[in-house]
Chains A and B, each alone.
Chain A
Amino acid sequence: MKTRSPLAWGLLFGIIFGFLLQKGGVTKYDVIIGQLLLQDFTVLKIILTAVVSGMIGIHLMKSLGWIQLDPKSGSWGKNAIGGLIFGLGFALLGYCPGTIAGAIGNGYLDALVGGLAGILLGSGLLAVAYPRLQAGVMKRGHFGDLTLPRLFKVSDWAVIGPLSLVIVLALYLLERAGL
């Protein structure tokens, strides 16, 4: 299955993903900035619902031996510092690398002319700086492809069960608070 016309499948999955993001409203600047201003929780609702439903399905398929997961290797220097820089850009631009593709399809020209050019420039600059960063700050606090179950020394499902409950409870409380 894995080698069968991967590019065509990628395109099809992308069309569905972009369609869903647009229906969710997250291809719009106002919805994303509303989340970062903690006024509109659409982004968080979509992400958390996707995480719970996706998590249960992919771990079930992993338990059945149908798929192999591939958690990314990381370090505090990579994920915390890179993540914070990402966050600053996220709020200034009002789109992320995925939703900007959707924003362009939705007609946002600030995304196409300013944002896309910026993301390409920033990605290119990181490629130039990479050897120095990789030898230095990105090594700090290295933990590799650690997962939460391995961190807590429990089975996958011992994390998935409680985590799903916490997320569903958090979503319930968000709704009850009228957010």
Chain B
Amino acid sequence: MNWLREVSWSPYAVGIGIGMLSWFTWLISGKPIGCSTSFARTAGMIEKLFRGKKVENRPYYQEVKPTVDWQWMLVLGMVLGAFLSSVLSGDFRWHWVPRQWEAAFGPSALLRVGLALVGGTLLGFGSRWADGCTSGHGISGTMQLAVSSWISAICFFVGGILMAQLLFAIIA
């Protein structure tokens, strides 16, 4: 079982693994792999803590109920799975500032966390606007040949490449 302790696997092995995993999520649970809806549900659950049950009256939360469901457990499992993989290979480490960010913008954790917060806000807002993320549209939707998912996936990368150029070629 030494392969479980390797730091990294071929991207093709990982890709085939994810493709095969999607066969089983459809077959056993009748669902595609996806992630971003769970963050919307969690946002609703947090708002409910402060504002009570009336949050459920928001039209959005009528469609996306603020509860724990199959996909929410999937996302929780992903944290555990990545932890398990990185601990087995000795690749687990606490980081505040990723290496390539530090090379461009310096070692300030405050700057990194602040801009991660802004980036996360755009990401969360955009994922719910587009009704999916890199998993739900980018992998599960494109393999179902959905037009909505192909447009979304292409736009994720167009926006991402533009912003990465702005950050690393122009600002840094």
Contact across chains for B78 and A90 when beta carbons are under 8 A apart: no
Instruction: Name the residue in A7, A30, A119, A124 with the highest tally of chain B Cβ atoms < 10 Å from its Cβ.
Output: A119
The answer to whether A120 touches B124, judged by C-beta atoms less than 8 angstroms apart, is yes
* Residues of chain B contacted by A124 (CB below 8 angstroms): 40, 43-44, 46-47, 124
A18 touches B124 (CB 8 A): no
What residues of B have a CB within 8 angstroms of the CB of A101 in the complex? 35, 75-76, 78-79, 82
Closest-CB distance, A131 to chain B (whole angstroms): 5
**A17, B33: Cβ atoms under 8 Å?**
yes
B1 at the interface (CB under 8 A from A): no
Tell me if A159 and B78 are in contact (CB < 8 A). Answer: no
A86 and B120 contacting across the interface, CB-CB below 8 Å: no
B101 neighbours in A (Cβ, 8 Å): 29, 33, 94
Bound-state Cα–Cα, A98 to B18, Å: 13
Task: Check if B53 is an interface residue, CB within 8 A of chain A.
Answer: no
Q: Hey, which chain B residues are within 8 Å of A97, CB to CB?
A: 35-36, 38-39, 75, 123-124, 127, 133-135
Query: Chain A 81-118, CB within 8 Å of chain B: the 1/0 string?
Result: 11111111111111011111111111111110111111
Q: Which residues of B contact A117 (CB under 8 A)?
A: 117, 120
Residue of A nearest to B45 (CB): A120
Within 8 A of A (CB), among B67-122: 68-86, 89, 91-101, 109, 112-122
Q: How far apart sit A90 and B14, CA to CA, in the bound complex (Å)?
A: 21
* A38 close to B (CB within 8 Å): yes
CB-CB under 8 A for A47 and B124, given A24-B8, A93-B119, A128-B58 = no
Interface residues on B, range: 35 or more
Give the A-B pair count, Cβ closer than 8 A. Answer: 538
Contact call B116/A106, Cβ cutoff below 8 A: no
A166 interfacial by beta-carbon distance below 8 Å: no
Within the assembled complex, what's the spacing in Å between the Cα atoms of A126 and B30?
27
Which listed residue (B11, B38, B123, B141) contacts A24, Cβ 8 A? Answer: B11
Q: Please count how many residues in chain A sit with their CB below 8 Å of the partner chain's CB atoms.
A: 124
State A123–B123 Cα separation when bound (angstroms). Answer: 8
* Residues of chain B with a CB closer than 8 A to A16's CB: 17, 21, 77, 81
Seed contacts A2-B30, A47-B138, A119-B127; 6 additional CB < 8 Å A-B pairs: A53-B16, A58-B143, A74-B151, A109-B109, A114-B117, A147-B147
The 8 closest A-B pairs by CB, nearest first: A87-B159, A118-B120, A14-B77, A49-B15, A74-B148, A122-B124, A83-B155, A18-B81
Q: Which residues of A contact B (CB under 8 A)?
A: 1-2, 4, 6-25, 27-30, 33-34, 36-38, 42, 45-55, 57-58, 61, 66-76, 78-94, 96-111, 113-128, 130-131, 133-134, 138, 143, 145-149, 151, 156, 159-160, 163, 171
Q: Give chain B's interface residues, CB within 8 Å of chain A.
A: 6, 8-9, 11-12, 14-30, 32-33, 35-36, 38-40, 42-44, 46-47, 58-61, 64, 68-86, 89, 91-101, 109, 112-165, 167-168
